[in-house]
Amino acid sequence: MSLSPDLRLDFPALDQLVGGKPLVYLDNGATTHKPRSVITAMSRFYERDNSNVHRGLHALSMRATDGFEGARARAARFINAAHAAEIVFTRGTTESVNLVAHSWGNANLRAGDVILTTEMEHHSNLVPWQELARRTGATLRYVPVIGSDGEHGLDLDALERLLTPQVKLFAFTHLSNTLGVLNDAAALCAKARAVGALTLIDAAQSIGHEPIDVQALGCDFLAFSGHKMAGPTGIGVLYGKRALLDAMPPYQTGGGMVVSVTYEGATWKPSPERFEAGTPNIADAIGLSAAFDYLDALGRPAISAHDHALAQHACTALSELPGIRVLGPKSGQPRGGLVSFAFAEAHAHDVVTFADQDGIALRGGHHCNQPLMRKFGLPSTTRASFYVYNTEAEIELLVKSMRRILKFFAG
């Protein structure tokens, strides 16, 4: 099964000119565009069902509650969680990771314990663990990235040495947002489980591209954002095994997450309600549910094959250009749907600015991977990241633009 080029018509934002040229949007690793079905679902809520959830007995509140809790059940089906109660709505991956770091981490870690992560992590799956280690006295360790420019991914021999019984949590990315490395998450979870460590998967980059089954992966927590999978911004999911969530204290407190409040104290609802203080992001949860439906209608195996093929094509073509250094798996090796590269003669911000003149949207900078960039001796890279609406013809336009930029800076 392959993706139809006609699906591009589902995304109204793509039908525009940038600098007089048709938009070529290759910044999907930062955020994806939204199909009409997602936009319509959110508009319909505001036009017809807008009300607060859970506590109202009138028709609009009940419809809003049905939509919101229906979105929770839809999220559970999308990742094959065992129960809807294992789905906590957050603002995105960053808040999901911070929730675990505070609620689970503060309650369970102490001096002598080890938190394990990797050198390829986004700051959102790195800084919260640094802060947790500072608060609790735990030690933070990193699985190295190996190979020239990280083309070999994680050092699995080092992982075997680092996974000791002192490791209480192993937090790692499923798909590197800079290298394009797609980690074998099920194997990593199994290795951690063998020493009694819990696992948290950062699925921000993989959720909209790869089939994900949390029960098959065997993870304890998984975090993702809606806006990187054709859904709205400001909504995300924390999946957690039910027994773990029920044992964790709240991350925030306020209305909606309490059973009883007196002047002396309060008692909490079970998960997931205990982690969703205040009025939730109702419209965006409903929009996220529509994104789940849209992606499943396309077929996630087909999406994965499409995005991987575009990345391979781009990697091969860019690697042939003089003066460009491609990070991550090399041509012919498996990689997720993105390619990061550096020019010998130009800063990434200049490359992105020049590409914008050709109507091409790219991302330039350290991609919230500053420690990894330092490891490779790079101040920044340019990243092209692909999604369901991108085509091979757009890859050719990207390469043509890069040739123009190389010619300009080579003098």
Catalytic residues: 368
Residues 132 and 139 sit within 8 Å (Cβ to Cβ): no
- Residues 6 or more apart from 300 whose CB is under 8 A from it? 209, 210, 211
Q: What are phi and psi of 175, to 5 degrees?
A: -130, 120
3-state SS class at 22 = strand
Task: Please give the structure tokens belonging to residue 110.
Answer: 């102490």
Residues in the chain: 411
**Residues sharing a CB contact under 8 Å with residue 383, sequence separation 6 or more, in sequence order:** 27, 29, 177, 178, 338, 339, 340, 341, 362, 363, 364, 367
Pairing of strands 360-361, 24-25: parallel
Place of tokens 């609790």: 136
- Tokens (6 digits) for 142: 């990193």
b/e per residue 225-249 (b: at least 16 CB within 10 A) = bbbbbbbbbbbbbbbbbbebbeebe
Type of residue numbered 116: L
- CA distances 287 to 48, 206, 226, 278, Å, are 14, 19, 9, 19
Name the DSSP letter for residue 165. T
Nearest CA to 266 among 252, 279, 280?
A: 252
CB atoms within 10 A of CB 101: 26
* Distance from C-alpha of 362 to C-alpha of 338, rounded to nearest angstrom: 11
